[in-house]
Amino acid sequence: MIENPYYGHEFHGDYDLISIGEFPLEEGGTIPDLSLAVATFGELNEAKDNAILVTTWYSGTHQIFRDVYLGSEHALNPEKYFIVVINQIGGGLSTSPHNASGPNQAIAMSRFPHVRIGDDVRAQEQLLREHFGIETLQLVVGGSMGAQQTYEWIVRFPDKVKRAAPIAGTAQNTPHDFLYTKALVEAITSDPGFNGGEYSSNADVVEGLKRHAGIWAVMGFSTEFWKQEVWRALEFDSKEAFIEGFLEPYFTVMDPNDLLCTAWKWQHGDVARHTGGDLAAALARSTAKVRIMPISEDMFFPVRDHQAEQVLTPNSDLRVIDDVLGHLALFGVAPTYIGQVDAYLTELLDS
Amino acid sequence: MIENPYYGHEFHGDYDLISIGEFPLEEGGTIPDLSLAVATFGELNEAKDNAILVTTWYSGTHQIFRDVYLGSEHALNPEKYFIVVINQIGGGLSTSPHNASGPNQAIAMSRFPHVRIGDDVRAQEQLLREHFGIETLQLVVGGSMGAQQTYEWIVRFPDKVKRAAPIAGTAQNTPHDFLYTKALVEAITSDPGFNGGEYSSNADVVEGLKRHAGIWAVMGFSTEFWKQEVWRALEFDSKEAFIEGFLEPYFTVMDPNDLLCTAWKWQHGDVARHTGGDLAAALARSTAKVRIMPISEDMFFPVRDHQAEQVLTPNSDLRVIDDVLGHLALFGVAPTYIGQVDAYLTELLDS
């Protein structure tokens, strides 16, 4: 393992590390001692039926949900619901390549096994059941890779999910998305400092991480975000200053192997693995009320990819979030973003 | 200079290298002896008023026009017009970093100066006038960076251009496009084999050129191109085979410094340099009949960026080419592509 202060309480506030023990993985191999980083908000009622599960995205943690999505003024209201945000395996807070130590020493760094979306969802289900006694979720909600996990929930555990809201992400990863992620991966692995995953500090890979940020700049926002200079709202005075002052620092504090672990997971997300490749049959398993929420200007999870899956998903509808930021609208920077999310989720929760 | 057999007659058929002598550049510096690679089709009439100029795109040469766009069955008909395709400075056939030698030895490889779209257009005007005696063009047409040159023509030499057809490219490069090109550049320059531009063969930079191809895979085609597996029409049986068998070999034969020279030019394309940054004032100089032709699924020269410039361009209209390939529809792979181009150009030429 290597020390990386970004992945700790100083930057991420309160969360608990909860071990669920040895965890066998779908691709083979096992995590000897899987700990999930869990942040909870609100209180679980006696019937244990007021829980909402929030899943996390690539490079994201519970922090963005705490700061942007949750609160008594939001649909995800801790005064009403017990909200559990479970950080991804490999995402840096839960068991991940960079922090694997002790019983996990054998899978540290470059030796970390491939993890699938299905592994996360199985681990989440086990943790919710064993640790909290939760058997039913009022809602599963997440963006991007969090949407992949949301879809996996309604296909794998349909009886446990009453409502689901995948935001800006698909049930079956698209080939274009695979290639986009491949470019991100190669930006990191091509850095000589990466050293096959055996660097001594994420700082060794800073050039690769900056190129990775540069590719996010191209695909993560929309063409209009740049043309309209929307970054001025964040008080930068040039696009270069925005990239150097926001996008690069956002990624360069992170761990390269952790990003690669979750990138592989993102690339291979596909609920149709449950049904021999038949996406329609997989989605047909869902019994939840599903609200699918693409972002209007998303360049790599475009609206039409959501539409194609919505028509295959029983009891579902589509609500497009209008936001010029594109995919990274998920950060909630635009003042009009969270209001749309809240309105769509409140309707869903009240139905 | 270094030898690169790709840039020669074996791969590019007939063309002439025409020197226009010492050529001062807009960014400072000069090319001691500028040769332009010129391919002509048809015959110049006595009045010298039947000429069409075709400009070339990033990584492109006259070859694609000869093979896809020109012929008696096309709008660009050599039986009717004298069609002159002039290859870009820095594009590999005209004077370029990799082939600078003799009088150009001092600007070889990494020492090649920055070249602007305006330099190309001035050189083209000089060559057409001095070498062919052409003072008026029936049409200037080009795609992508060729569209940038087309716009530069109507702003810089309005009296010389009767008609103009920029395809899939803009008069003022967008910030998103700048960042896309930056990612392409960094894929090449980050390769240790690039060696600051002083490699001994393009093969030294093959890994960087492959990553450059990988980023083209993400942005050059549309999300639907990949989802619909349109590459099957080219007789590949997986997207990986298509990338390894088509997109990577397309770029890995090329010269890294030449690509970087033209990438810089692409990034800095802006007709508003003539009018102190006022794009509307620059485009208002045009007296040609202009037909602006975006491609429906283009991810980095999107339709709306063309619309924004069309409303500023006098005597112009917009015709969207419908093609799922996205920007690289320019290759003319889809059987429905060239028919649309021909129809739109024929209307323009007949008006």
Task: Give the pLDDT of chain A (351 residues) as one tens digit per residue.
Answer: 899 999 999 999 999 999 999 999 999 999 999 999 999 999 999 999 999 999 999 999 999 999 999 999 999 999 999 999 999 999 999 999 999 999 999 999 999 999 999 999 999 999 999 999 999 999 999 999 999 999 999 999 999 999 999 999 999 999 999 999 999 999 999 999 999 999 999 999 999 999 999 999 999 999 999 999 999 998 999 999 999 999 999 999 999 999 999 999 999 999 999 999 999 999 999 999 999 999 999 999 999 999 999 999 999 999 999 999 999 999 999 999 999 999 999 999 999
Burial call A270-298: b when 16+ CB within 10 Å, e when fewer: bbbbeeeeebeebbebbebbbbbbbbebb
Min Cα distance B191 → chain A (Å) is: 8
Contact at CB, A186 and B211, closer than 8 angstroms: yes
Distance in Å, alpha carbon of B322 to nearest chain A alpha carbon: 17
Residue B128 confidence (pLDDT): 98
Question: Touching check for B327 and chain A: CB below 8 Å?
Answer: no
Partner-chain contact B183 A300, CB within 8 Å: no
Nearest chain A CA: its distance from B222 CA (Å): 8
> What's the confidence (pLDDT) of residue B190?
98
Distances in Å between the alpha carbon of A178 and those of A171, A181, A188, B239? 13, 5, 16, 10
Identify the pLDDT of residue B236. 97
Least Cα separation, residue A349 to chain B (angstroms) = 33
Q: What pLDDT score does B66 carry?
A: 97
Tell if the CB–CB gap between B186 and A218 is shorter than 8 Å: no
User: Per-residue pLDDT tens for B158-177?
Assistant: 999 999 999 999 999 999 99
Q: Do A218 and B180 touch (CB under 8 A)?
A: yes
Listed residue (A8, A5, A13, A18) closest to A41, CA to CA: A13
Question: How far is residue A33 from each of residues A8, A124, B208, B256, measured CA to CA in Å?
Answer: 19, 14, 39, 48
pLDDT recorded at residue B113:
98
pLDDT digits (tens, 9 = 90+) for B176-230: 999 999 999 999 999 999 999 999 999 999 999 999 999 999 999 999 999 999 9
As annotated, the active-site residues of B are 144, 298, 327
> Residue B186 is nearest to which of A178, A182, A211, comparing CB atoms?
A211
pLDDT of residue B116: 98
Question: pLDDT value at position A225?
Answer: 97
| B299/A300 touch (CB, cutoff 8 Å), yes or no | no
Residue B268 to residue B116: CA distance in whole angstroms:
7
Please tell me the pTM assigned to this model. Answer: 0.97
Question: What does the mean pLDDT of chain B come to?
Answer: 98
B53 backbone dihedrals φ, ψ, rounded to 5°:
-100, 130
pLDDT (mean) for B96-108: 97
Cβ neighbours of A299 in B, within 8 Å: 299
Tell if the CB–CB gap between B174 and A302 is shorter than 8 Å: no
Q: What is the pLDDT of residue A323?
A: 98
How high is the ipTM of this complex? 0.95
- Take residue B349 and report the two structure tokens written for it: 């030429």
Closest CA to B121 of B77, B171, B76, B167: B171
Residues of A in contact with B187 (CB under 8 A): 187, 211
pLDDT for res A295: 98
What is the three-state SS of A229-251? CHHHHHCCCCHHHHHHHHHHHHH
With an 8 Å Cβ cutoff, is A303 touching chain B? Answer: no
A 87-146 near B (Cβ less than 8 A): none
pLDDT tens figures, A20-49: 999 999 999 999 999 999 999 999 999 999
Nearest neighbour of A175 by CB, restricted to B186, B187, B227: B227
Q: Exposed (0-12), middle (13-18) or buried (19+): which is A28, by Cβ within 10 Å?
A: exposed
φ, ψ of residue A61 to 5 degrees: the values are: -135, -175
Strand partners, B39: B85
